[in-house]
Amino acid sequence: MRFPKIAKLDSLGCQLQRPLRLSNGIALLFLLRATDISAQTEIGPYASEADLGALIGQPAKVEGVFHRDAFNAPAVVITGRVFYLLENPPNSRRYSFSQVSSYATVTGTLYLYDGNIQYNELYDKIGRRYYFFSLGAAEIEFGDPLKNRGEANPVAPRGSN
Q: Answer yes or no: are the C-beta atoms of 85 and 76 closer than 8 Å.
A: yes
Task: Find, among 144, 61, 141, the residue nearest to 100 by Cα.
Answer: 144
Which has more pLDDT, 92 or 114?
Answer: 114
Predicted local distance difference test score (pLDDT) of residue 158: 42
Q: Answer yes or no: are the C-beta atoms of 134 and 108 closer than 8 Å.
A: yes
Predicted local distance difference test score (pLDDT) of residue 125: 63
Residue 63 pLDDT class (50, 70, 90 cuts)? very high
Predicted local distance difference test score (pLDDT) of residue 100: 80
* Overall pTM surpassing 0.85 (yes/no): no
- DSSP H/E element including 86: strand 81-86
CATH number belonging to the domain at 42-145, selected among 1.10.10, 2.40.50, 3.30.420, 1.10.3470: 2.40.50
Predicted local distance difference test score (pLDDT) of residue 31: 45
- pLDDT, one tens digit per residue, over 40-56 is 789 988 888 889 989 99
- Give the pLDDT mean for 110-132: 71
User: Of 47-51, 103-107, 115-119, 151-155, which range is least confident?
Assistant: 151-155
State the number of CA atoms in the 13 A half-sphere of 121 facing the CB. 1
**Cα-based torsion angle of the residue sequence 43, 132, 95, 143 in order, rounded to the nearest 10 degrees:** 10
Mean pLDDT over the full length of the chain? 72
Give the integer Cα–Cα distance in Å for 146 and 131.
Answer: 24
- Give the pLDDT mean for 116-121: 56
DSSP label of 39: -
Predicted local distance difference test score (pLDDT) of residue 28: 45
Residue 69 pLDDT class (50, 70, 90 cuts)? confident
Residue 17 pLDDT class (50, 70, 90 cuts)? low
